[in-house]
Structures are given as C-alpha cells and as structure tokens.
Amino acid sequence: MFTKKQIDKYANVLLWGLKTARTGTFKKGDVVLVQFQFAALELAEAVHGKLLDMGMHPVMRSGLTPAMEHDFYQKANNKQLVFVGSWQEDLYKQIQGRIFLHAPTSLTHLADIDPKRIGKTAVAMKPLRDIMRKREDKGDLGWTLCTFPTEELAKQAGLTMRQYTNQIIKACYLDKPDPVAVWKGVFKDAIAIKDWLNAMDVSYYRVESKSIDMKITPGDKRRWIGISGHNIPSFELFISPDWHGTEGRYFANQASFRSGNYVEGVELLFKKGVAVGVKAEKGSEFTKKQLTMDKGASRVGEFSLTDKRFSKINRFMANTLFDENYGGRQGNCHLAVGMSYTDTYDGDPSELTEEMKEKLGFNDSALHWDLVNTEKKMVTAHLATGEKLVIYENGMFTL
C-alpha cells in the first residue's frame, strides 16, 4: 500500500531514529542487525541498501511465521523452550545497531498455548536483552523499530488496509516532503517539555481519570525521557519510577495483543508497589500468568504520557507501538508492568550496579507490557515543597 517513494522515506526515518537513539556515533564498518517479519520485506530491502550506502555491515534476520511460532510453543520440550545458542550472545555483543520491522500476519495464533510456556522462553531470552541494554547504556548500541501494515493488523483494528496504511503515513510524516526534518522538529520541541518536567522536585504524581486513581513515585535520580528515535513513531514522554511507591488502581481501557493473545479491560490494584489485584475482562488467565512470569512482572517499570499535539494517531491500531502513542481527543497514559528503563536514571546509566538499581527502585523482569488508557485524565505533581502542580490535562502537558 506504500509507494516506492514512501518506502524510501520510511527507511530514511528509521535510519534517523537509529542514529538519534544511540549516544555514541556510528561509523563505517559498524554492524547493524535488521530483524524483520516477511510482510515487511520491501522495507527491509530499502533499509539494507541504505545501510550498505553508509558503509555499514547489515545482518538480515527474518522472523518465524505464525505456524513456526505455534509449533515451537506447542512441540518444544523444556530444553528447547529455554535454548539460547552461544552465537546469539556473540552477535548481540558485536552489533552497534538493531532495527526491528514489525509486520505480523497473525495476532492470536498462540491463544491455545499455555502462557507459562511463553513466559519460560521470555525469561530464558532475557540475558540477551540485558547484553543490549548494558551496551546501550555505554553508548555502544542504538536501536529502533517500526510497524509495517498487514491485513491482519488492519482487520483486528477494524480498518481497511488503506485506512491503516494512512495512519502510519500520517504518524510517521511520510506525507511530508522531508519527514526527517519534521522529526527533528518534534525532537527539539520535546526537549523543552522534558526540561520543564525534570526541573521539578516531585515527591509523587497523582493520576486521575474515570477509571484510574493512583500514585506514582518517581524516586531519586530520575529523569523524563522520550521522543529519542528509539521507536518510529514515538510521541510519549516517560519515566521509570521507583516501583516501591506505586499505589492505587489502574485500568487499561484500550485492548492489547500480546504473545499471540488478545487481552481487554485490564485492571490492576497496587499496594506497596505490587499488583495484588489483577483482573481482565478478556484474557484474564493469560494476564495473570504474565504477571507471575518472574518476581518483577507484577511491579511497575514505566509510566508514560503522550501529548495529543504531537501525535496524529487517532484510531486503535491493534499494535502497541502505535497504541501507546495514541493522540486522539485526550492523549493517553500508559503503565508498563515489568522491566524498567535505566536510561531514565539521572546520571550515567553505565555506572548503575545491580545493588544501585535495587536501592533506587528500578524494576527488573523478563516482562515489559504496556497497558494503555485513553480516558480524559489529570496528572498532578505533588512537589517536595508541599505545592501541587497540574502537569497534564485534556490530553496535553500544561507547559
């Protein structure tokens, strides 16, 4: 559904995102891993060619088909479920960049699989993600990802392929003569809001909507980050709070597709930082098992807000990348259970030891699940001085 010119623009935006997301500098001879699902082959070819033009070494890896993935979780024995080849670790230690092109042709093909089997594999793969996270913290690695339209995504979102593709075109500014220039402008505008948020001495944030009433405690040595090139598109600003200070009720009014399962109406009740009450209108068993994947799966790893002035996304997309960046009439907030992002540490993330992370309340888990709420809401910062300041209302930051 894209024209060749739009494919070329999309590839350019991805490479801007890749370079922007890395604190270090790319150079000729660097290795970039490009992982793609088959439906995104045309975009993968464009990215491959541009990486060669840049003097990089692209390493292309296609993903499993839905049938392969289902066979794996259905047929694999315990050893096969947790198998990680030594070459995988070697690859993640060597790459300087990683691009993932998401283009699923099925979103519910694992609905009959025991979620514990899916969780077991996720836990086994976590050391690979840890390698990338540590290398990113040092500036040695940059990554980005995007979504390519498929019939399955459009169907699950209740859109035609043309409507779905047009949402991507608008959201990524592919309808503009120079999308990269527009992204650079959004990046610059976001800096002012982040500087404003990070200048506050906040004891905690209170989040209120029709279905939410909760307290988020940022904790010590934290900073708001976002719109950094990591995701295309990305309009969210977020923080990884001190998980110990999470209290109250959160509700995701937006549906979620995760690990081949459909989930709707997730409600979480937090006490002393842990989700002690877990409900879902649909996919309840899957949700509960996901949040018991490991010790950190029932704790908060991220709190995020999207300003509707940035985001052009105004439809449910059946895709977390777009849905967590929903603009619409009231913007959105999302809460991620599971892994924290250490780049929200207000300092050099590479200096963080496991003991420091534990003390500061950075959560560790094989899970990271973004749960989105698009209701009208108000977020109030309760400052250390005792003052209160509304920082987000009517879908916008109040700066």
State which amino acid sits at residue 25. Answer: T
Could you tell me if 372 and 209 are in contact, meaning their C-beta atoms sit under 8 angstroms apart?
no
* Closest residue by Cα to residue 148 from 378, 23, 387, 319: 319
Quote the pLDDT of residue 207. 98
Domains and CATH numbers, the chain: 4-181 (3.40.1830.10), 188-397 (no CATH)
How many other C-beta atoms are found inside a 10 Å radius of the C-beta of residue 157?
Answer: 22
pLDDT tens column, 326-377: 999 999 999 999 999 999 999 999 899 999 999 999 999 999 999 999 999 9
Alpha helices in the chain (DSSP H): 4-21, 41-53, 66-75, 78-81, 86-94, 115-137, 151-157, 161-171, 179-198, 284-290, 320-323, 354-360
Q: To the nearest whole percent, how much of the chain has pLDDT over 70? A: 100
Q: What is the pTM of this model?
A: 0.91
Question: Alpha-carbon distance 370 to 381, whole Å?
Answer: 22
d(CA 364, CA 362): 7
Q: Which two tokens stand for residue 13?
A: 């935006």
User: Taking the mean position of all CA atoms in its chain, how far away is CA 86?
Assistant: 27
Q: Give me the helices (H) in 241-360, please.
A: 284-290, 320-323, 354-360
Question: In the predicted model, is pLDDT for residue 205 greater than 90?
Answer: yes
**Quick one: CA torsion of 80, 83, 85, 88, rounded to 10 degrees?**
120
| DSSP class per residue in 157-192 | HT--HHHHHHHHHHHTTTTSS-HHHHHHHHHHHHHH
pLDDT for residue 21: 95
SS3 state at 48: helix
Q: At how many degrees (to 10) do helices 41-53 and 4-21 cross? A: 60
- The whole-angstrom separation of Cα 260 and Cα 64 is 13
CA distance 96 to 224: 25
Over residues 132-154, mean pLDDT: 96
* Contact criterion met (CB below 8 Å) for 325 and 311: yes
Residue 199 phi, psi (nearest 5): -80, -10
Strand partners, 268: 250, 278
**What is the model's pLDDT at position 140?**
96
Rg (CA), the chain: 20
pLDDT, the chain, mean: 96
Q: pLDDT by residue (tens digit) across 88-118?
A: 999 999 999 999 999 999 999 999 999 999 9
Q: Is the pLDDT of residue 40 over 90?
A: yes
The amino acid occupying position 294 is: D
Compute the distance between CA of residue 230 and CA of residue 227 in angstroms, rounded to an integer.
7
Pairing label, strands 97-102, 31-36: parallel
> Nearest to residue 246, comparing CAs of 142, 340, 331, 313?
340
* Residue 1: per-residue pLDDT: 84
**Residue 67, CA distances (Å) to 74, 110, 154, 156 in order:** 10, 10, 20, 19
Peptide bond into 218 cis (omega under 30): no
Q: How far is CA 183 from CA 10, 47, 190, 238, 324, in A?
A: 12, 18, 11, 18, 18
Per-residue pLDDT, 184:
95
Q: Which helix (H) or strand (E) holds 311?
A: none
In the numeric block, the tokens 């209302």 are attached to: 393
- Containing 222, the helix (H) or strand (E) segment is none
Separation CA 80–CA 73 (nearest Å)? 9
DSSP bridge pairs for 300: 337
Q: What is the mean pLDDT of residues 198-218?
A: 98
- Dump pLDDT digits (tens) for 156-179: 999 999 999 999 999 999 999 999
